[in-house]
Amino acid sequence: MKDKAPDIRILTIRDQKVVLDSDLARVYSVTTKRLNEQLRRNRKRFPQDFAFQLSAEEYESLRSQFATLDKGTSGSELKRSQTATLKPGRGQHRKYRPWAFTEHGALQAANILRSERAIAMSVYVIRAFIEVREKVAANAAILKRLAEIDKTLLEHDTALRDIYQQLLPLLAPPPEPARRQIGFHSAS
């Protein structure tokens, strides 16, 4: 077995980081049908915070996000995203809405599949979730720092505006004194 980590697509659905059943099945080298079959047989091992089935609206939204087409190698055929469109041929398309597995659900899925590949690849899946969590935490720290800088800049802007208002009268040239007129003035 290679030590190369597979590509694991982690999505955010219902404010949770999840991996879809088709992606998890690919990583664990089983069919999506087998993964979902084991999920149904061991449903008690997957509470709602481990795995959940996407609603029709969530599935449609997901399909629209992955609806781009890639040119196939022959040029005449098109490869389509697995979750986006129906594939030609009998039994090649999804009949049911996909399942989404959280980090704990992905690990539990490896346990119920009972294959060496699934157990070995579960380490990579957990590492992918940890990497996403670290990136989110790093982004949160950056956003917090940017908010602090923005607040400081606003305070400085207010202070500079006050100083400018106080200096404005000093910067204006003094009015010229009235000149005395030279010559004869009538006393009218």
Structure tokens at 15: 């404010």
Asked whether residue 44 is assigned to any structural domain, the reply reads yes
pLDDT digits (tens, 9 = 90+) for 124-173: 788 888 888 888 888 888 889 999 999 999 999 999 999 988 888 887 78
Give me the pLDDT at residue 181, please. Answer: 76
**What domain count does the chain have?**
1
Instruction: Give the residue carrying structure tokens 């980081």.
Output: 17
Asked whether residue 105 is assigned to any structural domain, the reply reads yes
Query: Considering the entire predicted model, what is its pTM?
Result: 0.57
Can you give the residue range of the structural domain that contains 127? Answer: 11-133
The percent of residues above 90 in pLDDT, for the chain, comes to 10
Q: Are 126 and 103 in contact (CB under 8 A)?
A: yes
- Backbone φ, ψ for residue 35 (5° rounding): -60, -50
